[in-house]
Amino acid sequence: MAVRPITVIGHKALHSPTKKVKEVTDELRTLVADMYDTMEAADGVGLAANQVGSRLRVFVYDCPVPDGPNVRGVVVNPVLERLGTPPPLEEEEHGEGCLSVPGEWFPLARHPRARVTGTDLDGNEIVVEGEGLLARCLQHETDHLDGYLYVDRLTGPVKAEAREAVKDRGWAADGVLKWDPSTTTADKV
C-alpha cells in the first residue's frame, strides 16, 4: 500500500469530529492498509483517519503490552468507555506524544483502563479493552476522531509549555501542516 502524509496540529482536519462509517468499501480497506503502513513508517502505536486527511471514524493501533506480542487492529466507529480514575498528574510517569504533534511529549493523566466497542472491516462487532499504554492509545485515538488532540487536554503549566513548544516549532507560521514519515522522522519535523 502507501505511506500517507500526517497532518500536524493546526490543520483543521484534526479539530473537527469525524463522520460515522456507513459501509465498508474498497476505498476504506485501502485507507486502513495505508494507515497501517503510515503508522509503521512513523514508528507510532496508533493512528486515526483524520491524521491522514480522511473524515471517517476509524483508527488503527499496534501497541506493545507487557509479557506478550503487540495488540494490533482496526476499529470502525469506535465508542470509548474510560475505566478507573486517572492518577494525579504528579504521579504520571509517562509522557504522551502524538504523530500530529511530532517530537513533543507532555505528561497527561489518562484513565488507567479503557474499552472501545465498534466493528472490524468485516462488520463484526468487536471490543478492545486494555490498561497502560493500550488504554492510553484507545483514549488518544478516539479523542482524535472526536476532534481533540492530547494537548487540548493538558492543564496548567504543562498546557502553557505545550503551547510554547508548538509556537516554537512554527508549523502554522511556516504553513507546514503535514509531514511525510517515509522521508522524515517525527523529531525532525
H helices of 52-132, in order, are none
> Is 141 assigned a catalytic role?
yes
Distance CA 180, CA 186 (A): 9
Distance CA 82, CA 17 (A): 19
Q: Is 140 annotated as a binding residue?
A: yes
Amino acid (1-letter code) at residue 129: E
Sequence-distant contacts of 89-93: CB under 8 A, at least 24 apart: 89/155, 89/158
**For residue 38, what are the contacts with CB-CB under 8 A and spacing of at least 6?**
3, 4, 6, 47, 52, 181
Residue with cell 483508527: 59
Q: Is 144 annotated as a binding residue?
A: yes
Q: Is 98 annotated as a binding residue?
A: yes
The cell numbers describing 171, all together, are 508549523
Tell me which of 96, 141, 161, 164 is the catalytic residue: 141
Other CB atoms within 10 A of residue 32 CB: 23
Catalytic residue IDs: 141
Annotated binding site: 98, 140, 144
Annotated binding site for Fe cation: 98, 140, 144
